[in-house]
Amino acid sequence: MDTKIAITALASVSALGSSSHEIWENYLNENHFLAEENFDTHKALVAALPANAKAEIEALRLSDIKYKSLDNSVLYAMLIARKAVKQAGWKTGDDFGINIGSSRGATALFEKYHEAYLKEGQSSTLASPTTTLGNISSWLAHDLQSDGPELSHSITCSTALHALVNGVAWLKSGMSTKFLVGGSEASLTPFTIAQMKALKIYAENTSDAYPCKALDLSKTRNTMVLGEGASVVCLENGTSENALAYVEGVGYATEILKHNISISEEAECFQKSMKMALKNTDPNEVDVIVMHAPGTIKGDSTEVKAIEKVFGSNMPALTTNKWKIGHTFGASGLLSLELGILMMQHQKFIEVPFVNHTVKPTKIKKVLVNAVGFGGNAVSVLLSV
What would the DSSP string read from start to end of 64-82? SGGGGG--HHHHHHHHHHH
Using only C-alpha atoms, what is the Rg of the chain? 20
Residue 105 has a pLDDT of 95
Instruction: Tell me the C-alpha distance between 250 and 161, whole Å.
Output: 9
Residue 1 has a pLDDT of 65
Instruction: Tell me the C-alpha distance between 351 and 348, whole Å.
Output: 9
Instruction: Tell me the C-alpha distance between 311 and 269, whole Å.
Output: 15
Residue 107 has a pLDDT of 95
Q: Alpha carbon of 182 to those of 40, 198, 331: distances in Å?
A: 31, 28, 7
Amino acid symbol at 62 = L
Query: What total of structural domains would you count in the chain?
Result: 1
Residue 373's closest CA among 220, 162, 135?
162
Residue 187's closest CA among 325, 297, 293, 63?
325
Residue 260 has a pLDDT of 52
Q: Alpha carbon of 233 to those of 3, 26, 84, 187, 381: distances in Å?
A: 18, 20, 7, 21, 13
Residue 43 is part of a domain; what is its CATH number? 3.40.47.10
Would you say 383 and 164 are in contact if contact means Cβ atoms under 8 Å apart? no
Would you say 380 and 164 are in contact if contact means Cβ atoms under 8 Å apart? no
- pTM exceeds 0.85, yes or no: yes
Instruction: Tell me the C-alpha distance between 292 and 272, whole Å.
Output: 15
Splitting the chain (385 residues) into consecutive groups of 10 residues, what average pLDDT does each group show? 89 98 97 96 95 98 97 98 97 93 96 96 95 94 95 95 98 96 97 95 94 97 98 96 97 79 79 96 97 96 96 96 98 98 98 91 97 90 97
> Which domain, by its residues, includes 115?
5-384
Instruction: Tell me the C-alpha distance between 154 and 151, whole Å.
Output: 11
Instruction: Find the helix packing angle between 72-88 and 135-144, rounded to 10°.
Output: 40
Would you say 261 and 30 are in contact if contact means Cβ atoms under 8 Å apart? no
Q: What is the DSSP string of 105-156?
A: -SHHHHHHHHHHHHHHSS--TTHHHHHSTTHHHHHHHHHHT--S-EE---BT
Q: Order of strands across the sheet with 288-290?
A: 150-151, 97-101, 178-185, 229-237, 5-13, 245-254, 377-384, 366-373, 288-290, 317-319
Instruction: Tell me the C-alpha distance between 226 and 214, whole Å.
Output: 12
Residue 40 has a pLDDT of 86
Instruction: Tell me the C-alpha distance between 222 and 300, whole Å.
Output: 10
Q: Order of strands across the sheet with 42-47?
A: 35-39, 42-47, 226-227
Pairing mode of beta strands 97-101, 5-13: unpaired
